[in-house]
Amino acid sequence: MRRSRGLVFLLAIALLGCGKSGSDRSKNLTERQRDSILAGEPLPGAATVGRALAVSDSAASRAARMDSLP
C-alpha cells in the first residue's frame, strides 16, 4: 500500500512536470519587444543591443522625415 502511494505520487509529479511552461507568454512578443527587454538586462552584449535599437529608431525617424518632405 505504501509503495503504491509512492508510485502514484511520483507519477503525479512527472505528469505535472510535462505541463505547459510560462514561456508561452514570450511567444506573443515581437522581436523588437524581446530585444528591448534584453537591452535592459545586465548581460554581456545587452548594451550593444540597446544601441542597435537606438540607431534603428534614429534611422526610421530620419526616413519618416525624408518621406514627409514636399
Assess if residue 45 is contained within a domain.
yes
Whether 53 is covered by a domain: the verdict is yes
13-67 tens-digit pLDDT: 777 777 666 555 557 999 999 999 999 999 999 999 999 999 999 999 999 999 9
pLDDT number for residue 1: 67
Determine, yes or no, domain membership for 68.
Answer: yes
**Does residue 3 lie within any of the structural domains?**
no
Is 9 domain-assigned?
A: no
Who's near 46: CB < 8 A, 6+ residues apart? 38, 39, 40
Whether the Cβ atoms of residue 46 and residue 38 lie closer than 8 Å to each other: yes
Q: How far apart are CA 57 and CA 20, in angstroms?
A: 35
Give the residue from 60, 68, 37 showing the smallest Cα distance to 50. Answer: 37
Residue 62 placed within a domain = yes
pTM of the model: 0.57
Q: How many domains does the chain have?
A: 1
